[in-house]
Amino acid sequence: MVHLLKGNIGTGIFAMPDAFKNAGLLVGSIGVPIMAVICVHFMKKRKGDHFMDYADVVETACQTGPAKMVPYSNFARKLINLFLCITQFGFCCVYIVFAATNFEQVVAHYVPTVTLSIRSYMAIMTVFLIPLCLIRKLKYLSPVSLLANILQTSSLVLIFYYILQDLPNVSSRPAFGSWKTLPLYFGTAVFAFEGISLVLPLQKDMRTPKQFEGLTGVLNTGMVTVSALYFAVGFYGYLKYGEVIKGSITLNLPSEDLLAQLVKLMMVLAILGSYAVQFYVPMEIIWPTLSAYFQSSRSKLIAEYTFRTVLVIVTFCLAAAIPKLDLFISLVGAFSSSFLALVFPPVLELITFWPNVGRWTLAKNSLIIVFGIIGFLAGTYASVESLVDAFST
């Protein structure tokens, strides 16, 4: 349960008030439970009592589905791994922007004479990230992850302390944002909810995997909790700050308050730890294939450390190229997370049960696929257009 909550509650939760601004108070409130139901619906078990990760599910579905899909099973596995890597590296880029933006505010408040650019702060964050990402074993990251969990949970409690004070009337905020900004809401919401890559490995490693399912199982209980937190932060955060809400609600906390500055510093440290954990996922996908090109254990070790360092620098370069936190989150969510959470799962269900697919299942999955593709196209276009506008002005 704790791993499920941690895997689904990341930086996306702090961007939910900005998502509500793009959708409006009423539409945003309706959208959160709908998105949650769709995402949870497809977090399923596939083959008897054997539990698999996302890529295993895709490959097995193609191998056991229609005969025409069997030759594409290996390609489908690689495609899923590609999108997983894009998504995880996207998370890492967002983390750099998030940490640098919060750290910049703290420095600007206490040392106003320092006038570094946001990219300079990103470079500082990267210097600390490289040693963390050189840790090769996940178990050695456990203390880092534990500290990040404690800091993030504490920050969330303190954020509720600020946003629940002196709330204006609900009627002071628009019920609907605009059609132009609605795709940005979709991108941010999908980014926040995209924890499907974590669900299957968690179920696979449980001592009693059957407790994961059921009406009051780990999955339903955990995701209801996650959805309630997303809704609460998004609703009350937007209600509190309105149109001046920023890409992360931590940036709206009062700068003159010492406790608020502490929250920002806690989140910077939490994000540095979370980055290392998120970075572990694509490394586990990419490096085993690349390591085959090196013979001795020493050359493999040197090559792996070099590769890890280069990848961290690449995420820094991408983050420095798009230092707009809210738009970066929406872009990552719309471009990659929408496929992993909304498009691929219904496609897999159709492949798995084909040709014995009922009309209701076919109609439901087709509708969700269309919804996911429209969200991908509209969200990506709106994010890119907003980025172009932001840089041009």
- Please give the average per-residue pLDDT across 188-210, as a whole number: 69
The mean pLDDT of the chain is 85
This prediction has a pTM of 0.85
H-type alpha helices, the chain: 2-8, 16-23, 25-41, 54-64, 73-110, 118-133, 142-163, 182-193, 196-205, 218-241, 258-291, 297-321, 325-332, 338, 344-353, 359-392
CB 283 within 8 A of CB 308: yes
What distance in Å separates the CA atoms of residue 27 and residue 204, rounded to the nearest whole number? 36
Tokens of 181: 């900004």
Residue type, 372: G
- Please give the average per-residue pLDDT across 318-340, as a whole number: 85
Quickly state the pLDDT bin for 45 (edges 50, 70, 90): very low
- Please give the average per-residue pLDDT across 33-43, as a whole number: 76
CB 96 within 8 A of CB 321: no
The answer on pLDDT for 381 being more than 80 is: yes
The answer on pLDDT for 44 being more than 80 is: no
pLDDT tens figures, 107-116: 998 898 888 8
Tokens of 80: 């899923």
pLDDT tens figures, 237-275: 999 999 899 888 988 998 888 899 999 999 999 888 888
The answer, yes or no, to whether the previous bond of 355 is cis (omega within 30 of 0) is yes
- Please give the average per-residue pLDDT across 210-226, as a whole number: 79
pLDDT tens figures, 278-306: 888 888 888 888 888 888 888 999 999 99
Class of domain 2-392: mainly alpha
What distance in Å separates the CA atoms of residue 270 and residue 212, rounded to the nearest whole number? 27
Residue 49, pLDDT score:
46
